[in-house]
Structure 1
Amino acid sequence: MGKKVKPKSECCVSKDRCKRCPIRMMKEGTLPPGYTVKKRKLVKVDKKKLAKAA
């Protein structure tokens, strides 16, 4: 089994995205639950806001 890769806190904006890039992880669906990317930075989703949206 593969290791879970922790995303970086900010995207480095390189042309070829690294394995830990939060934008690439979000696109592939491998970003850990409870996290999202805003303005190229990794942010934790508030559970209260998540419940309201559903």
Structure 2
Amino acid sequence: MPPKPKKKCCSDKPACKRCPLQMMKKGTLPPGYTVKKRKLVKVKKSDKKSKVAA
């Protein structure tokens, strides 16, 4: 089981293995999550369909 990401990046040098920025960079961040302003946030699912110009 991969390690769970921290909720906030602590900016330590060297970066820890649970850092959300490092996990996003390596592609090991769990699905449904992203990082904004050094904090782990859940991605909202949008039910809107993309509009195609006719």
Q: TM-score range by the shorter chain?
A: 0.7 to 0.9
Structure 1: segments with no counterpart, 5+ residues: none
Q: TM-score w.r.t. structure 1 length?
A: 0.82
Runs of at least 5 residues in structure 2 that lack an aligned partner in the other structure: none
Could you tell me how far 1:4 is from its partner in structure 2? 1.7
What is aligned with 1:19? 17
Quick check: which has more Rg, 1 or 2? 2
Q: Deviations over 1:6-53 (max 9, x none)?
A: 10000000121101000000000000000000000000000117x65x
Aligned partner (choices 3, 6, 19) of residue 5 of structure 1 = 3
Partner in structure 2 of residue 29 of structure 1 = 27
Under a length normalisation based on structure 2, what TM-score does the superposition of the two structures give? Answer: 0.82
Identity %: 65
Give 4+ residue runs of structure 1 displaced > 4 Å after superposition: none
What is the root-mean-square deviation in Å for CA atoms of aligned residues? 1.6
